Structure 1
Amino acid sequence: MEELREAPNGLSKEQIRRRLEAADHRVLLMSLFHMTGDEKWLQEPYSPVRDARLVPDPSAGLSTEVREEIRDAIAKHLVDPEVGTAIDDPGDQLMARMMSVCTGQAVPPEYADMFREDMGFQPDRLNSQLDLDDPVSHDVLVVGAGVSGLVLGAALKRAGVPFTIVDRNNEVGGTWLENRYPGVGVDTPSHAYCYRDAKRPQWSRYFSLGEEVQSYLVACSQEFGLRDRIEFSTTLISAQWNDTDRRWHVILEGPRGREERTTSVLVSAIGIFNAPSTPNIPGLDQFAGSIVHSARWPQNLDLTGRRVAVIGTGASAVQIVPQLSQAVSALHIFQRSPQWIRPIEGYRDRLPQGTQWLFKNVPHYEDWFRFSMFWRYGDGLLPSLRKDPEWPHAERSVNVRNDRHRQELTDYIEKKLSTRPNLIEACTPAYPPYGKRILLDTGWYDTLLEDHVHLLDTPIERVDAGGVVTVDGERHEVDDIVLATGFDVTKLAASLNVTGRDGRSLSKVWHGDNPTGYLGITVPGFPNFFCMLGPNTGLGHGGSAVFQSESQARYILDCLTQLSCRGVAALDVKQDVHDEYVRRVDEEHSQLIWTNPAMSTYYRNSRGRVVTVMPWRIVDYWRMTHDVSMSDYEVIPW
């Protein structure tokens, strides 16, 4: 039983009840059950109604009387310092029932142990120390101090594994440090986009802006005690496996110049969004004004009153354009193809006043709030992305549910742009929704209606000194160009110049743009080399990259534990194990929307193979990576 609590801030029962009015009642109900253990709270009339919106109705579909009864019961317990919590770990069976009640839908039982671990109800290897007779004999070099590098560093430090993190930047954060464009923010609910074992951030919004995320990552690097383990402004020039001493020989370039080192284990934590993609447009180098890539936004760039071209209409453009429109005199948006954009009520809303009080004072409220936000942005969409072989309209959708989504999104476009029929046609994609990364409406359609904003879907022919010329011969005079053209997402760790056994180059093994890996983490012929957020581990159907990183950090730590316990030098994934896994990935993708020929997407490489996103549910990948199977690996002795 949890330690007894004092009444929060000495508040009266009535004062507490008033503070509880700001709560999400589906979450509050779970807290009440933890506090009382009374199963009546898991039955009618207390059952919340299912709400699929990313920001749900806090009333949970419950009547005013029921909500008042729930708040009154919680206030009664909180005001009594003699009352603790009756249930801290519900166990799998009860956990599954609680999740189903909380969401208003049947949650499959296989999610129970994953969320029990995520919510801290049961221990997890990520938060453990190695119990070994001898000190850990393997040191680790982690390349990248972003989301993945920090969570792995924290796990290695707790486990007592010697390690160093290097990063090319002068601060932690990775993509959140580098992407500083106006409007940058998460498209994952904030409370799902944070580390499980760190102090929970006091997010101000349901979907936080980039500056807040970056500040959180800096704070985590301090909380984890990693600052003295990170070498900033340091780049990995090359890494080569040496079979003689069973170590990676690396060349680093940093403040002290170029130096050679060795390490037992090498980890790529550079992620997917680290190499900006610049379009090959004739004359771009002849432009007289400033050219800015969204991922390299100058800190003090002022575009007030300027005529600006934005090239691209993807995820970064959808966030940038509504912000730029408020300052520039003219905005020309050059679109190659339209995107499906999902409406989201409350996307930029701040969390209700008093929410932080609930997180601090109501037992397990923050745990279940995180679960609620994670669940509605998780695996529920994936079944609707599976191709129906009998579906007659494969060019526009992949099944009846996907077609319904298409109609809903089309209706939204037509409603928002009803006064501009020409824009409706230009903004309605021809490919199935969710076939490319789905975008969230941050004011995109409203911005397109502004008089000084012009959406152009005629292809660009060239750029000259003072403007952009389209293939119809029209010239658009602009002072500045913003490249919202995304990233080169296929090189991944191959950009690090890694050479494995027998002199094999990772770039050549991956044929330039065809990265593969067992579980997206290990590659045959590259012993003791691990990728984080590697091939086919992205989340095309929803979820949290932070959660993925935690799953992979857990797996890597288990591999290191096996090395130390067995007294061996290295692990190298077997070729047949890798190949069978890749075959399964490709086979599963052949049945999913991302291989639909009706569109092009950065999820696929030049061969048409899906290389970035995974075809599995989050819970499936969590289970695959939870414990290493030593039979998958060749054990290399000292």
Structure 2
Amino acid sequence: MVLKSFASPEWRLDKPIHTERPVRVICIGAGASGLQLAYKLQKHISGFSLIVYEKNQEVSGTWYENKYPGCACDVASHNYNWSFEPKTDWSGLYGTSQEIYTYFNDFADKYGLRQYIKTQHQVVGAKWTGSGWNVSIKDLTTGQTVIDTCDILVNAGGILNNWKWPDIPGLNKYKGTLLHTARWDESVDLKGKTVGLIGNGSSGIQLLPAIQPLAEKVTVFMRGPAWVSPWPGLEGRPYTDEEKRRFAEEPGHLLAYRRSVERGNNSILPVFFKGTDANNKARDVMLKMMKEKLAGHKELEEGLIPTSFALGCRRFTPGSGYLEALVQSNVQVVFSGVAEVTEQGCKCGDGSEHAVPDVLICATGFDASYRPRFPIVAGTKNLQDVWAQDPESYLGLAAADFPNYLTILGPNSPIGTGPLLIGVEAQADYIVKMIDHWQTHNIRSFAPDAAAVRDFVAYKDQFMSKTVWADPCRSWYKSGSSRDKITALWPGSTLHYLEAIRQVRFEDWKFEYEGGNRFTYLGNGQSQTETNPDADLAYYVREEDDDLPLARNKMTRIINKTGTVVGAEGTGEG
């Protein structure tokens, strides 16, 4: 007997319309995004096979990797969890990296997601075969590389997890202890040590207040200014026992609190337009707070407070305790980039030399270029080359000419204009819809049309020209691109993104079909209803029209609960 392929037209012609065929999915990365994809597939898709390859020993991605003192999220803790999965016992307003790791680790356990995950396995290459992907995976415990196959490949590897040493001559000459915030050695004791700290990005801003009370002296090397200060009402602090009791025990209290904070998170887009009242007022507030905390230290004010770019050009961080630490007597600030590392310290661009004989810490971040860290090849194209300068995605979800390849938090995703994790949820939902469409039709391959990608990028670039992100600041939002294009951010708010991708625009995609006839999925003439013994064959006969709205905006009003909120609350902690 000859078995018919699940993809073959002959197999489909014997089945009812929209019969699901099995689908094999490989996901790269078991951080927050990979875990969310596994959860969504398990919840929504039938007949799927999933394997998630994770290079680390544990899940949770960057929250497993980053363990430096003071490491935390700069989003309020009760709003840095899945929309449907609250956590009642956060210790304070900003969750620590250990707490966040525990949250995602527990999420994996609660929903049985570990069955899909292979840790200590790193994807090192992928090649499109014409109908699927051959994926090369290195077992990091044995060093052996094997080939796995899938119908659909999802890259959930993230952007802020490929740490790098700074490109500074002489790093290998340093005789003291050399550390990077993303590869922290917890055995190193900083008590009483003379320490150098390179960088004033998010990790450096979090680290300094944690190490300043321990070290004999800390020399902070800054290449440029930054807007740093918590917004009023969002200063970092621990929750009281009474607050935690109410979160855990009072029905509706935590939900109301989370929604209050989220409304504030979702109202910040106007701040990012150049020359607007919203940006000017926010700048005035931030300027006042920074000057108050720098306590009249004019040199610090002149070196740290930006004058050449607007508030928001670089991602600003709450920075709880950072400015206060800078003015302490055991902290020296050097407003000159490190030109060379010596055996005992650092030489700076202004010619000065600074001894830091004990410990030198590089808080210099990640390679945020979006260029894949391994070859992804389709035909004659390697995505490493295509995205080497200006990574151009389709709505942060896919790349032209790379079939059956989808991304979470790809270029121009919603990562800076509102809550992040709901954007990840929306992207996972979109991927589920694409997988379902592939399963229920005789599709061999799908990829975004190149013209659609070009049009999206043109719209994005036009939008970005009006924002503060286009100001002349160094920012990982620009991904090191050749023309300083904004490659990290979505051109709009997070709520804007949710509406943009809620429905799949199939007209933007190119599909190829098994057997050449796209209508083979119609099958043997029967509906799914007729083959389901539990279904009502007269389900559409009713006493009243109870249909949900068919028009997009009417449906949106139901989804966003229009009419249920009078006078939206702000960002306070009430």
Residues 441-460 of structure 1 mapped to structure 2, 5 A cutoff: 441-460=319-338
CA contact (8 A) 2:414 2:494 kept: no
Deviation of 1:359 (Å):
4.0
Letter of the aligned partner of 2:351 in structure 1? G
1:187 to 74, 82, 90: 74
> What is the CA–CA distance in structure 1 between the aligned matches of 2:102 and 2:239, rounded to whole Å?
18
Distance 1:301 1:248 in 2: 44
1:205-216 correspondence to structure 2 within 5 Å: 205-216=92-103
Question: Residues 629 and 401 (structure 1 numbering): CA distance in 2 closer, same or farther, change over 3 Å?
Answer: closer
Q: Quick check: 581-590 or 274-283, which moved more?
A: 274-283
Matched with 2:202 is 315
SS in structure 2 at match of 1:495: coil
Shift of 1:275: 1.1
1:625 is displaced (CA, Å) by 1.5
With a CA cutoff of 8 Å and minimum separation of 6, indicate the structure with the bigger relative contact order.
2
Give the secondary-structure state (helix, strand or coil) at the position aligned to 1:587: helix
Matches within 5 A, 1:236-275: 236-243=123-130, 246-254=131-139, 255=141, 257-275=144-162
SS of 1:295's equivalent? coil
- Match for 1:558: what amino acid? K
Matched residue, 1:175? 62
Cα contact 2:127–2:135 (8 A) shared by 1: yes
Give the Å deviation of 1:168: 0.3
TM-score normalized by the length of structure 1: 0.74
CA deviations on 1:259-284 (whole Å, 9 max, x unpaired) are: 11111110110111011132221212
Amino acid across the alignment from 1:154: Y
Q: State the AA in 1 paired with 2:145.
A: R
CA distance in 2, matches of 1:417, 1:358: 36
Residues 136 and 217 of structure 1: is their aligned pair in 2 closer, same or farther, counting only changes over 3 Å? farther
Matched, 1:403 2:280: yes
Which residue pairs with 1:96 in the alignment? Answer: none
Partner of 1:563: 438
Partner of 1:606: 482
**Mapped contact 1:515–1:611 kept (Cα < 8 A):** yes
Identity among equivalent pairs (%):
27
State how far apart, in whole Å, the 2-side matches of 1:461 and 1:299 are.
28
The aligned runs of 1:475-554 (5 Å cut-off) are 475-478=353-356, 479-492=358-371, 494-500=372-378, 502-510=379-387, 512-541=388-417, 543-554=418-429
Q: Is this contact kept in 2: 1:418–1:424, CA < 8 A?
A: no
1:630 matched to 2:506: yes
SS at match of 2:55: coil
- Aligned residue pairs total 490
* Correspondences of 1:37-56 after superposition (within 5 Å): none
Q: Which residue of 2 aligns with 1:331?
A: 218
- Cα separation, 2, equivalents of 1:570 and 1:367: 42
Is the Cα–Cα contact under 8 Å of residues 28 and 156 in structure 2 kept in the other structure?
yes
8 Å CA contact 2:78–2:86 kept in 1: the answer is no
Structure 2 CA distance for partners of 1:294 and 1:538, relative to 1, 3 Å: farther
Contact 1:592 1:615 in 2 (8 A): no
Q: Distance in 1 between matches of 2:504 and 2:172?
A: 50
Query: CA-to-partner distance for each residue in 1:566-606, whole Å, 9 max, x for gaps?
Result: 13222111111111111111111111111123x23221123
- 1:294 deviates by 0.8
Quick one: which amino acid aligns to residue 458 of structure 2?
R
| More moved, 437-446 vs 147-156 | 437-446
Q: Structure 1 counterpart of 2:427, which letter? A: Q
CA deviations on 1:77-104 (whole Å, 9 max, x unpaired) are xxxxxxxxxxxxxxxxxxxxxxxxxxxx
State the Cα deviation string for residues 533-575 of structure 1 (Å, max 9, x = none).
Answer: 110114223x222111101000000001111121322211111
Deviation sequence 1:433-480 (CA, Å, 0-9, x none): 111101213111111111110011023231111111123433211121
Pick the aligned partner of 2:448 from 559, 569, 573.
573
Runs of 5+ in structure 1 lacking a partner? 1-130, 388-397
Output the aligned Cα RMSD: 1.9
Residue 357 of structure 1 deviates from its aligned partner by 4.3
Q: Is the 8 A contact 1:144 1:270 kept in 2?
A: yes
Contact 2:227–2:305 (CA<8 Å) still a contact in 1? yes
1:140 aligned residue: 25
Given that residues 20 and 440 in structure 2 are in contact (C-alpha distance below 8 angstroms), is that contact kept between their aligned partners in structure 1?
no
| Residue pair 2:452, 2:508 contacting (<8 A) in 1 also | yes
Separation (CA, whole Å) in 2 of partners of 1:219 and 1:283: 42
* Counterpart Cα distance in 1 of 2:67 and 2:448: 38
Secondary structure at the counterpart of residue 250 of structure 1? strand
What's the counterpart of residue 532 of structure 2?
none
Q: Specify which structure has the higher proportion of helix.
A: 1
Partner of 1:467: 345
Distance 1:220 1:516 in 2: 32
Partner of 1:70: none
Aligned to 1:348: 236
CA distance in 1, matches of 2:80, 2:17: 33
Structure 2 match to 1:417: 294
Q: Is the 8 A contact 1:146 1:173 kept in 2?
A: yes
Q: How does 1:4-83 map to 2 (within 5 A)?
A: none
Q: Which moved more, 1:167-176 or 1:530-539?
A: 530-539
Distance 2:336 2:248 in 1: 53
- CA displacement, residues 335-362 of structure 1 (integer Å, 9 cap, x when unaligned): 1011101234453322343444444554
1:148–1:269 contact (8 Å) kept in structure 2: yes
* Counterpart residue number, 1:30: none
Tell me if structure 1 keeps the 8 A contact 2:72–2:95. Answer: yes
* Structure 2 counterpart of 1:602, one-letter code: W
Contact 2:74-2:318 at 8 Å conserved across structures: yes
1:473 is paired with a residue whose SS is: coil
